């Protein structure tokens, strides 16, 4: 089933008297259960594309379909509700709340989504084990390594079993061993929990793991290939 469809997306940014067209008629489809990387040079439009899919930014023109719904002209409130219920985000800067422990950072994501305390505790226990940081549960971000913080961010992003996880350069600040370990974790979550992952990346490690790779150049998809076949 098609989860995302972008049709002829244009995005123009205006700064003073200067206009910059980040996306120039981009079209793209993403199916449920994919593990896909979007690649291309800096400034090609990768992050802009992810932000439009996630409702963090609006297209100047074109159509955005998410899970069968045309969200192109949805209000900010409706887009916020969609993100809360349907989308998880992973950023290269982790974006954890510094005064909260690993457990509390994950718990907050579920509390905001209306989970009961008992269900929240059970799910967080499950997630801490899934991302292999049970021993970090009571540690704050400044007491964890970069890889451990990113594992918390991954757990938080999938806590409510979203339809889609958007990962913007998730391995950029990680060493080779930690990055490979994190990618293995995300592959496992993709297989076991059917979480759809869409990466924006320059990292060859992500490209090597992706089962599909879309290349963006000058604001359009210039190449779209299946890198690996499942099974």
For the cut 90, the answer to whether the pLDDT of residue 39 exceeds it is yes
Residue 71 backbone dihedrals phi, psi, to 5 degrees: -100, 10
The H-or-E segment that residue 90 falls in is strand 87-91
For the cut 50, the answer to whether the pLDDT of residue 231 exceeds it is no
What is the rounded average pLDDT for all residues in the chain?
Answer: 91
The tokens describing 24, both together, are: 């120039």
b/e map of 98-121 (b: 16 or more CB within 10 Å)? eeebbbbbbbbbbeeeebeeeebe
Give residue-wise pLDDT tens across range 60-113: 999 999 999 999 999 999 999 999 889 999 887 888 999 999 999 999 989 988
Which is higher by pLDDT, 185 or 57? Answer: 57
Give residue-wise pLDDT tens across range 157-211: 888 888 899 999 888 878 888 888 889 988 988 988 888 999 999 999 999 999 9
Which is higher by pLDDT, 54 or 130? Answer: 54
Say how far apart CA 163 and CA 102 lie, in whole Å: 23
pLDDT (0 to 100) of residue 93: 81
Sorted by where each starts, the structural domains of the chain and their CATH numbers stand as 34-44+76-226 (3.40.50.300)
End-to-end Cα separation, the chain, in angstroms: 19
Say how far apart CA 178 and CA 139 lie, in whole Å: 19
For the cut 70, the answer to whether the pLDDT of residue 228 exceeds it is no
pLDDT (0 to 100) of residue 206: 92
| Mean predicted confidence (pLDDT) in 152-160 | 89
Give residue 230's pLDDT band: very low, low, confident or very high (50, 70, 90).
very low
Q: What is the CA radius of gyration of the chain?
A: 18
Q: How far is CA 51 from the centre of its chain?
A: 10
Is the pTM value of this prediction over 0.75?
yes
For the cut 80, the answer to whether the pLDDT of residue 116 exceeds it is yes
For residue 223, what are the β-bridge partners? 215
Provide the 10 A C-beta neighbour count for residue 52: 25
The H-or-E segment that residue 106 falls in is helix 102-111
pLDDT (0 to 100) of residue 185: 85
pLDDT (0 to 100) of residue 27: 97
């Amino acid at each position: 089933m098609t989860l995302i469809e972008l049709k002829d997306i244009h995005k123009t940014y205006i700064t003073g008297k200067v206009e910059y067209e980040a996306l120039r008629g981009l079209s793209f489809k993403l199916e449920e259960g994919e593990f896909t990387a979007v690649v291309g040079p800096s400034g090609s439009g990768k992050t802009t594309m992810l932000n439009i899919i996630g409702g963090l930014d609006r297209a100047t023109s074109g159509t955005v379909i998410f899970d069968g719904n045309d969200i192109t002209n949805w209000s900010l409130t409706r887009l916020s509700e969609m993100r809360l219920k349907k989308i998880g985000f992973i950023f290269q800067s982790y974006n954890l709340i510094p005064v909260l422990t690993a457990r509390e950072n994950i718990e907050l994501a579920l509390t905001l989504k209306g989970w009961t305390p008992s269900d929240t505790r059970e799910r967080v226990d499950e997630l801490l084990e899934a991302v292999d940081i049970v021993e970090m549960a009571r540690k704050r971000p400044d007491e964890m390594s970069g890889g451990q913080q990113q594992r918390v961010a991954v757990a938080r992003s999938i806590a409510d079993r979203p339809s889609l996880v958007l990962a913007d350069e998730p391995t950029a600040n990680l060493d080779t061993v930690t990055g490979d370990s994190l990618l293995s974790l995300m592959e496992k979550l993709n297989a076991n929990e059917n979480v759809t992952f869409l990466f924006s990346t320059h990292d060859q490690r992500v490209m090597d793991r992706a089962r599909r790779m879309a290349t963006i150049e000058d604001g359009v998809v210039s190449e779209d290939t299946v890198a690996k076949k499942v099974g």
